[in-house]
Amino acid sequence: MVPCSSAMAEETPTKPAKKEKPAAIEDKPFAEFINDAFLPALQQALSAKGGDVTLRFEDNTVIGEWGRGMYQFRLYFLEGDIQGPKAFVCSSGGIAPSTIEPFLGDERKVTLDLLVFGVMQRLNGQKWLGGN
């Protein structure tokens, strides 16, 4: 039998340090997320459909207008949080909106892509996007 020396002892492999995942874009502060991520992504999606839309963010509300104000929608973030309750209104012909609808109320986790998809789907339902 060969004696075991400390040099021959089995070394325990060291685990490489875990790389921390970058924070999700949705975890940014609310106003920063809306201005830096949501508005540009929504602008790009609407422009791809041929919409000459103007977007702005005021008082926890995203406002979109096009056709010289003939078409307008508003997406309300009622608690100033993308995961909180949201409402959607739209109007055409310069008339004030008459119906406030819940927006993405059934979703557990709201993401940037889901918000953009939800607005696009809602506007497409109004037949406001090109090609309808």
Q: How many CB atoms are closer than 10 A to CB 52?
A: 10
Q: What is the pLDDT of residue 42?
A: 92
Cα 108 from Cα 71, distance rounded (Å): 30
The per-residue pLDDT for 123 is 87
In the prediction, which pLDDT does 104 show? Answer: 83
Structure-block tokens of residue 118: 């939800």
Those residues whose C-beta lies under 8 Å from the C-beta of residue 54, and which sit 6 or more positions away, are 64, 65, 66
Contacts of 81 (CB under 8 A, 6+ apart): 30
pLDDT at position 25:
76
The pLDDT of residue 43: 93
Across the beta sheet with 54-58, what order do the strands follow?
54-58, 61-66, 71-77, 86-92, 101-102
Q: How many residues in the chain?
A: 132
Structure tokens, 111: 């993401």
pLDDT string in tens for the chain (132-residue length): 555 555 555 555 666 666 777 777 777 888 999 999 999 999 999 888 776 788 999 999 999 988 777 889 999 999 989 888 999 998 888 777 777 888 887 777 888 999 999 999 998 887 767 654
Sorted by where each begins, the domain ranges of the chain are 27-125
Q: What angle, rounded to 10 degrees, do the helices at 39-48 and 112-125 form? A: 40
State if pTM tops 0.95: no
The structure tokens 């999606």 sit at 45
H-helix segments, 1-132: 30-33, 39-48, 112-125
CA–CA gap between residue 113 and residue 36 (Å, rounded): 14
